Amino acid sequence: MRKSLAPYIKKGKFYQSVVDDGSDMVFVVDYEGRILYHNDSVRTLGYQAAKLKGKLLFDLMPPETVGDIKKKFAQSCRKPRARHVEFEFLLKSGERRFFEFNSINLKHKEGLQGLILDCRDITERKQLAEELIEVQKTKDLFMANVSHEIRTPINGIVGMTTLLSQDLPPADQHAYLTAIRTAAENLKVIINDILDLASIESGKIQYERIDFGLRHLLQTLVDTFHVQTMEKGIELRMELAQEVDNHFVGDPVRINQILTNLVGNAVKFTQKGFIAVRCKLEKKSGQMRHLRFEVEDSGIGIPSEKLSDIFESFTQADASITRNFGGTGLGLTIARQLVNLQHGRILVQSEAGKGSLFTVILPLPLARASRSQKAAQKPETRLNDILAFEPLSILLVEDNEINRLYASALLKKWNCRVEIAENGKEAVDKASRQPFDLILMDVQMPVMDGYEATRIIRSGLPPGNRVPILALTANASVKEADKCLDSGMNDCVSKPFTPEQLFRRIKKFRPISDAPEKEKMINLNYLVNASPDDDTFVQSMVKAIITNLPESIDTIRKETERKNWMKVAEAVHRIKSSLKMIGLESSRKNAALIEELVYNERPDRIASLATDLCNDLQRALTELKEVER
């Protein structure tokens, strides 16, 4: 047979042209698989030209695969053509690579017992296919876990809500409401993880550059996990080096998100012992500081072979971790990507059974003002917002009943007059009939969406009327925000929102009263400067002053009427230091003058000064009560 085929190979110009000039590896073989001809592309296997002639094709394949490929080869010998027949080649170096051949049977064309094999390297394609299968398996597992994680809190919320519809004692009602809130918070975390990852990977995440105090950020972080660690009996401690106890410029929300993911993991995987949150200086250059954040725990640790995988999407050190501890497995992925986007680094050291140490190094510039200046710049309006918040007439446009109930309850608590519209068309009708100070506009609604409603409202308003319209949207992407602004809205409030987030957005666009605002007496800068970025301290001091001040005012009034000047002086002396704390400098000077007049036995002016002092203290007390609210 070989004699009849060899002259054909030598003389057949068409097939000679195909095998010599083809870019793929081409063989001409007889029905036994013996190589009668091959082109120079066999060099990719590591062999020289013409070196394989006379050898069996099967000798170039891994022995364990030969049986299978011989069956496929025999089938090809019985057909005019065969396509995409996969096999493995052994390279001269010993490496294996995947190929597939398409064959032409010469017996059906020329009456010769042989095949032309056009062989193409498909190794990369096979590897990619295998990787895609693994990725799909991982994503399927992730979706199963997420489905479980989402369904669990939803089931709890529905169940607790059903129980709350019954006639229950107050203690049970409180317990069920707490369970609902906990389940809702867990659900929010899961959804936020998924949305955050989508925003990061699509390049649509934005960073702020604002001044923030590092001590306040870390203290707030630790306070967030205080209850969880206390319930588990874990010691949670914070260590902040003096050299970085300062104000920096960056995005405190994203930094908090990174650290929250790390501390959250530590809490989840630590059953006893401690969790330490530290920050110290890695290095400095001019105004730039490279901060070294550390989160160390005494938890279950991570096996060394898994350390390289824990930052990958949809991956945890062990698939059983999600089942045992919950979560999406996205926390560390999000943390790493947020760190990378801020030109930082994230590292991990861990040993199974001996805990973990996560390190984040972030470059942040120092804020221009000093720490004390920053504290002075934090206006007391952080606590006095409610004083500047005038009653507003607000149109709430929302199609979801629960969202309407939540938002309207908050607005009414802030003394706002609320009008409801359940879709965009209703909003247009109501906005055309009466003016509003502000409109809260849901985006996705039946009948007419928020974009169209905003455009119509804007086009129908008289010139100069720019009523603020704030979007209420569950889509927190940059693209969505741009779409809202393009339609004529002023800003976006992402759902779900906290009362504080909604309040800040509304206050940003509150109308300015035409009447001159009455100057406030109190000023809390002294307390703010004295506190380490701690609102709780300031509020507690305000509460103490509110509790004690009425008695002092009453004593001063009564003893003044009795002309018991020494008692007046004693009462004034007791409150003098408190007056400085709340910025009543002129009242403090009056109090000091009253004391001086009493001790110098000059009572002629004491009565009028004491009356003025009491009137000022009464007005200040009213302002303080508004702050406490």
pLDDT in tens, 556-604: 999 999 989 999 888 888 888 788 778 888 888 888 888 888 888 788 8
Q: Of 205, 290, 214, whose CA–CA distance to 247 is shortest?
A: 214
Centroid of chain to Cα 196:
5
C-alpha distances in Å from residue 167, one per residue of 162, 163, 175, 180: 11, 9, 14, 17
Distance separating alpha carbons of residues 249 and 282, to the nearest angstrom: 17
| 415 and 384 both lie in a single domain | yes
Is 517 within the bounds of a domain? no
The pLDDT value recorded for residue 512 is 44
Q: Do residues 463 and 495 lie in contact, with contact meaning Cβ atoms separated by under 8 Å?
A: no
**DSSP secondary structure letter of residue 347:** E
Q: What share of the chain is helix, strand, coil (3-state, %, to 5)?
A: 55, 20, 25
Q: Do residues 393 and 417 lie in contact, with contact meaning Cβ atoms separated by under 8 Å?
A: yes
Is 518 within the bounds of a domain? no
| 195 and 142 both lie in a single domain | yes
Tokens of 226: 């205080």
| 624 and 533 both lie in a single domain | yes
What domain range includes position 358? 210-369
Q: Of 613, 625, 571, whose CA–CA distance to 588 is shortest?
A: 613
Centroid of chain to Cα 21:
57
- Beta-ladder partners of 28: 37, 116
Distance separating alpha carbons of residues 322 and 519, to the nearest angstrom: 57
Tokens of 550: 């009425």
Distance separating alpha carbons of residues 359 and 215, to the nearest angstrom: 18
Is 51 within the bounds of a domain? yes
Neighbours of 369 (CB within 10 A): 13
Q: Of 394, 309, 404, 322, whose CA–CA distance to 350 is shortest?
A: 309
| 479 and 446 both lie in a single domain | yes
| 218 and 179 both lie in a single domain | no
Is 513 within the bounds of a domain? no
Q: Do residues 35 and 52 lie in contact, with contact meaning Cβ atoms separated by under 8 Å?
A: yes
Distance separating alpha carbons of residues 35 and 32, to the nearest angstrom: 9
Tokens of 466: 């720019």
Distance separating alpha carbons of residues 427 and 454, to the nearest angstrom: 9
Is 515 within the bounds of a domain? no
| 497 and 403 both lie in a single domain | yes
> Any idea what the CATH number is for the domain that residue 28 is in?
3.30.450.20
Of 328, 350, 369, the last residue of a domain is 369
| 615 and 582 both lie in a single domain | yes
Q: Of 433, 438, 382, whose CA–CA distance to 407 is shortest?
A: 438
Q: Do residues 119 and 26 lie in contact, with contact meaning Cβ atoms separated by under 8 Å?
A: yes
Q: Do residues 278 and 294 lie in contact, with contact meaning Cβ atoms separated by under 8 Å?
A: yes
| 475 and 496 both lie in a single domain | yes
> Any idea what the CATH number is for the domain that residue 255 is in?
3.30.565.10
| 217 and 326 both lie in a single domain | yes
| 271 and 309 both lie in a single domain | yes
Of 328, 352, 369, the last residue of a domain is 369
The pLDDT value recorded for residue 187 is 74
Distance separating alpha carbons of residues 241 and 517, to the nearest angstrom: 44
Is 520 within the bounds of a domain? no
Q: Which helix (H) or strand (E) holds 247?
A: strand 247-250
> Any idea what the CATH number is for the domain that residue 415 is in?
3.40.50.2300
Distance separating alpha carbons of residues 389 and 549, to the nearest angstrom: 25
Regions in the chain scoring below 50 on pLDDT? 1-3, 11, 14, 316-326, 370-388, 512-517, 532-533
Tokens of 278: 């530290």
Q: Which helix (H) or strand (E) holds 541?
A: helix 535-561
The pLDDT value recorded for residue 30 is 92
Tokens of 157: 């919320």
Of 325, 342, 369, the last residue of a domain is 369
Tokens of 140: 């399927």
> Any idea what the CATH number is for the domain that residue 533 is in?
1.20.120
| 31 and 111 both lie in a single domain | yes
Q: Which residue has the tokens 């339609």?
A: 487
Is 545 within the bounds of a domain? yes
| 269 and 358 both lie in a single domain | yes
Q: Which residue has the tokens 């003002």?
A: 369
| pLDDT, tens digit (0-9, with 9 covering 90-100), for 105-121 | 988 777 788 898 999 99
E strands present in 321-434: 345-350, 356-365, 393-397, 417-421
The pLDDT value recorded for residue 293 is 96
Is 356 within the bounds of a domain? yes
**DSSP secondary structure letter of residue 533:** S
Nearby residues of 527 by Cβ (< 8 Å), 6 or more positions away: 537, 538, 541, 542, 581, 582
CA dihedral 387, 388, 392, 396 (to 10 degrees): -90
Strand 81-90 to 469-473 pairing: unpaired
Distance separating alpha carbons of residues 102 and 76, to the nearest angstrom: 9
Helix axes 535-561, 565-581, angle to 10 degrees: 160
Report the number of distinct structural domains present in the chain: 5
Q: Which residue has the tokens 């004593």?
A: 555
